[in-house]
Amino acid sequence: MTSIRDIDMSHLVGRDVGNATVLKEIGRGSMALVFEAYQRSLKRKIALKILPKSLMTPVAAERFQLEAEAAAILSHPNIIPIYEVGEGGDYLYMSMQMVQGHDLAEYLERAAKHVVPSKRILPLKATFNIILQVLDALGYAHSQGIIHRDIKPANILIEKYSKRPLISDFGTAKMIKGDEIGAEMILGTPLYMPPEQVSTSEVDGRADIYAVGTLLFQAMVFQLPLPEYDSLISLLKQKQKNRQGIFQKTPSQLNAALNQDMDRIVAKALAYDPKDRFADCAAFAKALKWYRRHYLAEAGN
């Protein structure tokens, strides 16, 4: 079976796609290639996402189209804007802002390799700043009827100079009022996926809250306290079965700088039943701001 790893789209380099000239390939996702391109009309570099038609199962094509439609209607300083969507001879394409910087996954990986053990996680104030902006962006998206459903470090880009986080890849987004794109498919990334997303496609904004809760936990500790598992499928099965959650320790047990009030915040975000989580992103953000006022206002971390 052909995969994105086997696709050669090098023939696009130097050619025009929409109103941009393709410069070079810079990355690959699960079903699309990403190129750096030059937008001639505005004389700027942009990112160009290419979906080869050879990979276009009906679901893949619909997911790509959904990503474009979902992201294109969103206008928020922490969401990457979409410029153009179109179709070429053997591909679909979408152009978007080129972000100068790295994704959050790379920042976390760099921190984990620091020679000083106490520096192997992001500073708490920086973590809160990122998470609060992500919650604000997701709250806005939810208000527009859009759920991301694949929030993870790799989908949060951090601008090099401003350090502003931008959410990318609405490829698994669900438009609440739109058509579902395949109830038989599990969409998302297992570690950040809430239990209900494993067994049903009927999720709401609280699925994103679970993902952000996992992301917050991950950013505050050196290593997430996961149980042993043989495969991602077995991890998903444990999520479905264990109503107490899959994490073996609390944040404060792994990071002495954290208070048990943080344990309660994370536990609420990661509650098995969506009804037990924060009702919305604003409620989650309110709890984090309270914690920041009480425990980080005078702290240097």
39 shares its domain with 112: no
**DSSP secondary structure string for all residues of 229-265:** -SSHHHHHHHHHH-TT-S-SS-HHHH-TT--HHHHHH
d(Cα 12, Cα 1) in Å, to the nearest integer?
23
193 shares its domain with 76: no
Could you tell me if residue 264 is inside a domain?
Answer: yes
**CA 85 to chain centroid:** 21
167 shares its domain with 222: yes
Domain of 188, in residue numbers: 101-296
55 shares its domain with 158: no
pLDDT per residue, tens digit, the chain (301 aa), is 567 888 899 999 999 999 999 999 998 877 789 999 999 999 999 999 998 888 877 777 777 777 787 778 899 999 999 898 888 888 889 999 999 999 999 999 998 888 888 788 899 999 999 999 999 999 999 999 899 988 999 999 999 999 999 999 886 666 555 444 443 344 568 889 899 887 766 789 999 999 999 999 999 999 999 888 888 788 888 888 888 889 999 999 999 999 999 999 999 999 999 999 999 999 999 999 999 999 987 655 5
107 shares its domain with 92: no
**Residue 13's CATH number:** 3.30.200.20
Q: How many domains does the chain have?
A: 2
Amino acid residing at 168: S
Could you tell me if residue 301 is inside a domain?
Answer: no
Q: Which long-range contacts (CB under 8 A, 24 or more apart) does 234-240 make?
A: 235/190, 235/191, 236/186, 236/190, 236/193, 236/198, 239/190, 239/193, 239/194, 239/195, 239/198, 240/195, 240/198, 240/199
**Residue 228's CATH number:** 1.10.510.10
For this structure, is 150 an active site residue? Answer: yes
68 shares its domain with 216: no
196 shares its domain with 243: yes
Catalytic position from the list 103, 150, 169, 280 = 150
pTM, entire model: 0.89
**Domain end marker among 97, 124, 157:** 97
Write out the two tokens for 292: 């920041």
Distances (CA, A) of 192 to 30, 137, 174, 221, 222: 16, 18, 16, 16, 17
d(Cα 151, Cα 138) in Å, to the nearest integer?
10
**Domain end marker among 55, 74, 97:** 97
223 shares its domain with 92: no
Write out the two tokens for 233: 């499928």
